[in-house]
Amino acid sequence: MNSANPFGEYDDDPDPHNAPRIPVPRTSMEDTGLPLPTPPLILEHRVLKALLGAWALAACSPEETAAVEDHLGGCGACADEALRLREAVGLLHPPETLDLDPALRTRVLQACLSRRPPRIPVPSWATPYDAETARLDALLQDIGDAEWHAPVRLRWFDGKEPTSRRTTVAGVIAHLLTVDGLVAVALGLDDPLETPADTPTPAARTEAFWRAAHFPPTRSVRGPWREQSHNLVRTVAFAGGGSGRLPVPYGEFELPLRDSMLDRAFETWVHAGDIADAVDYPYEPPAPRHLHAMIDLGARMLPSALTARRQAGLAAPGETPHLVPAGAPGRSLRPEIEGLGGGEWLIPLDAPGALASADREVAHVALDGVEFCQLAAGHVSPEEAAAGQSGDREAIRDVLFAAASLSRM
């Protein structure tokens, strides 16, 4: 049967599935705002092979990368070449140390202080000690409990020959604590020694501290040492630059506070290097301006050290040493310190009070800056220290041995 429609007409096909459909417009990718899919690149083998170098350097476009990697799955020759190229790229980027740049702390502080100067600035002659104690503390923070007992040999030059004393990493920090205590006592701070030593020499104070301990030093010594170093820097900052003339006795001699703080910075760096060697830790020299200040201190101490060796019969007598009055020109030696922190100095040879004179220069010696410091620390023998020398050989020998005699435990 045919069914009637509302208009009084009859449909020829009563099946609704065969009814005519109204076309619906399709939605395109442009209408949705989504990006059109990019068709994969189809490249020839020779082109893909030429792209392997750029692919190894991660310099290909995403489409090229996809095409190359799809090709590598089916071409063994190109896959082998790609592997060799990736290994070669790895050699172009050697692994970098995870240790921070030793100058990073100084640069950060300089940047901060340039924006906002401190209310109570640290005197310039105390900043090397502040920096070196901070660097050593960072090293100590990185080592494990067992490494505090690693053996360390303290080395110095005892008049005629090298000598040494065996201790541990913790023992070295105890040594720094007690010798820094000489500066603390001079500033009116607490002495880390409960029982003062018979003589205030660094060696005697260290031995007294070691003897008084019921057990060998452990990592617990780090706290008192670091607290004392903070107190020293804080105290000289409050005291102001004028405190630099305050005498600090070392038993056999004394230094003004400004030089004593440089001396303690130097010792801190040297013994930090001893610790770093013992625990296989990389350690860099001080900042160039701090290194220069330490070298300058050593150069200024050389005339007195040379005179002391002559009085002990360990050096050749100078040219009429007693006939050169203070302030009069005398024979001189020129040490030329090369590298970062270096410079040139004139060292009077005939008497500590004589005036160094370029007109009476009799010898010249060239050393690397770090090597000069290692010589003054007793870590390098005088015979091996000079990189170059000319002039009076005897004067050069005496000055090199005098530099080594600046070292002590």
More confident residue, 85 or 37: 85
Quick one: tokens of 352?
A: 């500590």
- Beta carbons of 129 and 259 less than 8 angstroms apart: no
Indicate the helix (H) or strand (E) that contains 76: helix 76-91
Q: What is the pLDDT of residue 14?
A: 47
Residue pointed to by tokens 């172009």: 92
Tell me the average pLDDT across 236-255.
Answer: 89
Residue pointed to by tokens 């310039």: 124
Tell me the average pLDDT across 163-173.
Answer: 95
- Beta carbons of 327 and 350 less than 8 angstroms apart: no
Please give the full DSSP string across 188-199, using - where no structure is assigned. TPPPS-SS--SS
Q: Give the count of beta carbons closer than 10 Å to the beta carbon of residue 143.
A: 17
The angle, 0 to 180 degrees and rounded to 10, between the axes of the packed helices 169-186 and 257-278 is: 170
- Beta carbons of 105 and 135 less than 8 angstroms apart: yes
> One-letter amino acid identity for 381?
S
- 180-194, 239-253, 283-297, 394-408: segment of lowest average pLDDT: 239-253
Nearby residues of 407 by Cβ (< 8 Å), 6 or more positions away: 155, 156, 157, 376, 377, 378, 379
The angle, 0 to 180 degrees and rounded to 10, between the axes of the packed helices 257-278 and 369-376 is: 100
pLDDT tier, 27 (very low <50, low <70, confident <90, very high otherwise): very low
Q: Give the count of beta carbons closer than 10 Å to the beta carbon of residue 27.
A: 8
Q: What is the pLDDT of residue 89?
A: 79
The angle, 0 to 180 degrees and rounded to 10, between the axes of the packed helices 169-186 and 222-239 is: 30
Q: What is the pLDDT of residue 116?
A: 67
- Beta carbons of 295 and 343 less than 8 angstroms apart: yes
pLDDT tier, 119 (very low <50, low <70, confident <90, very high otherwise): confident
d(C-alpha 71, C-alpha 22), whole Å: 47
Number of helices and strands in the chain (H, E): 15, 9
How many residues does this entry show for the chain?
409
Domains of the chain: 40-92 (no CATH), 121-278 (1.20.120.450), 288-404 (3.30.1050)
pLDDT tier, 320 (very low <50, low <70, confident <90, very high otherwise): very low
pLDDT tier, 215 (very low <50, low <70, confident <90, very high otherwise): confident
Tell me the average pLDDT across 150-173.
Answer: 92
Q: Examine the pLDDT at 346 and tell me if it is beyond 80.
A: yes
Quick one: tokens of 254?
A: 């004394």
Instruction: Confirm whether pTM is higher than 0.85.
Output: no
Half-sphere exposure in the Cβ direction for 111 (13 Å, CA): 6
Q: What is the pLDDT of residue 99?
A: 57
Q: What is the pLDDT of residue 70?
A: 87
pLDDT tier, 100 (very low <50, low <70, confident <90, very high otherwise): low
**pLDDT tens column, 30-81:** 444 555 556 777 888 888 889 888 888 888 888 888 888 888 888 888 988 8
| Distances 300 to 139, 259, 313 between C-alpha atoms, Å | 31, 10, 22
pLDDT tier, 223 (very low <50, low <70, confident <90, very high otherwise): very high
- Beta carbons of 292 and 345 less than 8 angstroms apart: no
Distance between start and end Cα atoms, the chain: 123
Q: What is the pLDDT of residue 343?
A: 94
Tell me the average pLDDT across 73-102.
Answer: 75
Average pLDDT of the chain is: 84
**What DSSP state is assigned to residue 4?**
B
